[in-house]
Amino acid sequence: MSATTLPISNGATAGTAMSTARTRNAYFTEIKFECLRALRAPAFSIPFLLLPLVLYVLFGILLAGNMSHGDSTVAKIMFVNWAVFGVMGPGMFGFGIFVANEREQGLLTLKRALPMPNGASLLAKLVMVTLFAAIVMLTLIAAAVAMGHPGLSFGQYVGIALLDIAGSLPFGAIGLFIGTRASSKGAPAFANLAYLPFMHLGGLFYPLPKSVQPLEFISPAFYLDKLGLRMVNAPSLDVLSKIQGASSAGGPLLYVAVLAIVTLLFTALAIRRLARVG
C-alpha cells in the first residue's frame, strides 16, 4: 500500500452537512455523466440521432418533395411529422432500456443505498432525453434549411424545436414506466410494442383510413403532431388527403393537457414502482 497523505475515513466524527452548492453540483454531475454515457453508447446514440435525419432527408425531403412537386404545405407537414418521429425514440428507448438495465444490474439499488440526492437519477435521464431531442431537432432543422425545404420562419423553427423537445417528455415518461416494469431483455420489446403503434396511429407517415381514426387518440404522437402542424399553419395528412371524417377535433389546450397528463401519470406510476421495489 502506498503512503497516504489524507485520511480515507472521517472516522466516527460527525458528518458535514451537504451545502447547497454541493447539492447543486451533485445534480449537475449526475446529469453530465448520464448524457455522456448515452452519447458514448453507439447502440443508442447512432440509431436515435442519425435515423430521424436520414429518414427525413430520404422520405420527407427527397421523396415527398418529388411527389408533391414542391408544395410547401406538404413540406411543412413532412418536417413536423418527422420531427415528432425523431423525438419519440430517445424518450421511449432512452428511459426504458436504461432504467430496466440499471434496475436489473443493481445500480439503482446501489444509488439508493448511497446518498444520491432525491430524484437526481430521474432528472438526469430527463435531461438526457431532452438533450437527444434537441440534437435531433437541430439536425432536422439544419437539413431542412440546407435543402431549402419547408420554408419556415426562424420563429417557427424555434417554436417547433421547443415544442418537440418538451414533447419528448411524455414518451420519456412512458419509457420510464416500461423500464420500471420490464426486464432489460424485455424492455426493448415492450418499448417497441408502444412505439410502433404510437408512430403509426399518430398519422405521421400516411393518412389513416377512416376505420382506424378512432384509435389515433391513444397516441401521444397524434397530439404532439397536431400542435406542431398548428404552429406552422399546416393541416394533418388525413385532412390534406380529404379523408371523410378526418379527426381534427379538439384544440391546442386539449392536446397540451393530454400530453401533460400522460407525462405526469406515467412518471408518477414509475416513481411509485421504483420507491417500492427499486
Partner 1 sequence: MNCACLAELVGVKKSFGKVVALDGFDLEVRRGELLAVLGPNGAGKSTAISLMLGLRQPDAGTARLFEMPPLQIEARHRVGVMMQEVALASELKVREHIALIASYYPDPMPVEEVLRQTNTLALADRPYGKLSAGQKRQAQFALALCGRPSLLFLDEPTVGLDIQARTIMWATLRQLVHEGCSIVLTTHYLEEAEALADRVVVIAKGKTVASGTVREMRAIVGRKRISCATSLPANVISAWPGVQSVIRDRERLEITASDADSVVKRLVTSDSQFSGLEVRSAGLAEAFTELTQEVTA
Contact residues: partner 1, CB under 8 A: 1-2, 4-19, 22, 25-26, 29-30, 33, 36-37, 40-41, 101, 105-107, 109-110, 112-118, 278
Please give the Cα distance from 260 to 174 (Å, whole number): 12
How far apart CA 149 and CA 74 sit, in angstroms, is 10
Q: Least Å distance between CB 49 and partner 1?
A: 15
CB of 121 to partner 1, least distance (A): 11
- CB closer to partner 1, 55 vs 107: 107
What is the separation of C-alpha 177 from the centre of its chain, rounded to a whole number of angstroms?
A: 13
Q: Which is nearer to partner 1, 26 or 269 (CB)?
A: 26
Which of 27, 59 has the CB closer to partner 1?
A: 27
Q: Which three cell numbers stand for residue 176?
A: 420510464
139 to 32, 144, 170: CA distances (angstroms): 21, 9, 22
Q: How far is the CB of 106 from partner 1 (least distance, A)?
A: 4
Instruction: Work out how close the CB of 10 gets to partner 1 at its nearest, in angstroms, rounded to a whole number.
Output: 5
Distance CA 96, CA 88 (A): 12
Report d(CA 100, CA 120) in Å as an integer.
Answer: 17
Rounded Cα–Cα distance for residues 217 and 127 (Å): 27
**Whose Cβ is closer to partner 1: residue 68's or residue 101's?**
101
Q: Which one, 85 or 98, has the nearer CB to partner 1?
A: 98
- Supply the minimum distance, in Å, between the C-beta of residue 193 and partner 1: 26
